[in-house]
A and B are shown apart, each in its own frame.
Chain A
Amino acid sequence: MVYVYAIFEPSGKRFDTLHGVGDAPAYVQLSDGIGVAWSEVAGAVARPTPDNVWRHEQVVEAIMRAHAVLPVRFGTVLRDVDALDALVERNRERLCEGLRRVRDCVELGVRVLLPNEAGTASEVPDDSSGRAYLLARLREEQARRDHETFARETAARLHAQFSSRAADSTLRVFPNPPFLMAGAYLVPRDRTDEFRRCVTAAGEAEPSLRLLCTGPWPPYHFVPELALPEVQRA
């Protein structure tokens, strides 16, 4: 069976020997302008151990160094190389367009935390009456709604700043502390320093928040959706 790491735009550059999940060698299959990196594996079950996850990522990042790359989700195992070829052919246009879209870009992640004292255990009232209980619950609910509003408005403001420095972006807002938002940004390689400076400046301007910028990642959030074969029953 065939474990798939990534789809990429071949450039004629040679790869160092890569080893992927289970330390299996990673092969490259070229098909008329689209490359695929894969390994032979014994079975269809992938174990997301830190080692296997790291090796999967290592193969993708090695390719990313010099090629436009579309990372494949962890654990993707196909029947054989023919099945892989058929998928690529069926989706040739979408893959070429997807590769064009991410060419010369990397993905940067921004995670915003609201380190806070509220939103955790509520105060235990001395008065253990039902009324005190209800008041405590009402306070909790109000705090939760205040956080949601704050999260939405803050995320929108920060996301507008960051996405203006990116070719594309995605945003996730979290309703509960400590996380406020997680954004993914497709940034041209030569603009990543500028992007990071923007995140640092935004963090300095908002002392109640903690901003964490990670990357460069392969463009996991910016891949095309493919047409998959119908499930075949034996």
Chain B
Amino acid sequence: MTGEIQAEAQRSPEEDVTLLELLDRVLDKGVVLSGDITLSVTDVDLIFVGLRVLLSSVEAARRQRGEGAGG
């Protein structure tokens, strides 16, 4: 369903939101089997800094493309 995650420059705004939704789920939800999940911190910081930039650019990109709101 999600397909491969394209390099950032190649992703559409829709794919950006899908990636956000995916990361939100796998990193923050799901069954917790261990009180102790160790994530490599540098990678996580890079992903979330990237996403903050992405999120503010999603709507900017839509406005630029002249897309209407809704749907």
Contact = CB atoms under 8 A, between A and B. Distances in A.
Contact of A207 (B5, B30, B70): B70
Interface in A37-72: 44-51, 53-54, 56-57, 61, 70-72
B46 to A, nearest CB: 9
B37 interface: yes
Interface residues of B, number: 41
Contact of A72 (B14, B21, B33, B59): B33
Interface string B30-49: 11111111111001100100
- Secondary structure at the A interface, as helix, strand, loop or mixed, is mixed
Contacts of B58: 113, 178
A76 B69 contact: no
Contact of B17 (A4, A75, A212): A212
Nearest to A217: B25
Nearest to A115: B59
A223 B5 contact: no
Nearest to B26: A74
Contacts of A209: 69-70
Given A48-B40, A216-B1, A72 B31 contact: yes
A84 B69 CA distance: 47
A7 B32 CA distance: 11
Contacts of B33: 4, 72-73, 76, 78, 84, 87, 226, 228
Contacts of B32: 73, 76, 225-226, 228
Given A46-B37, A76-B34, A111-B21, 12 more contacts: A4-B33, A46-B38, A48-B39, A48-B47, A53-B27, A57-B2, A77-B34, A78-B34, A84-B33, A182-B24, A207-B68, A210-B70
Interface of B: 1-2, 4-5, 14, 17-19, 21-40, 43-44, 47, 55-56, 58-59, 62-63, 68-71
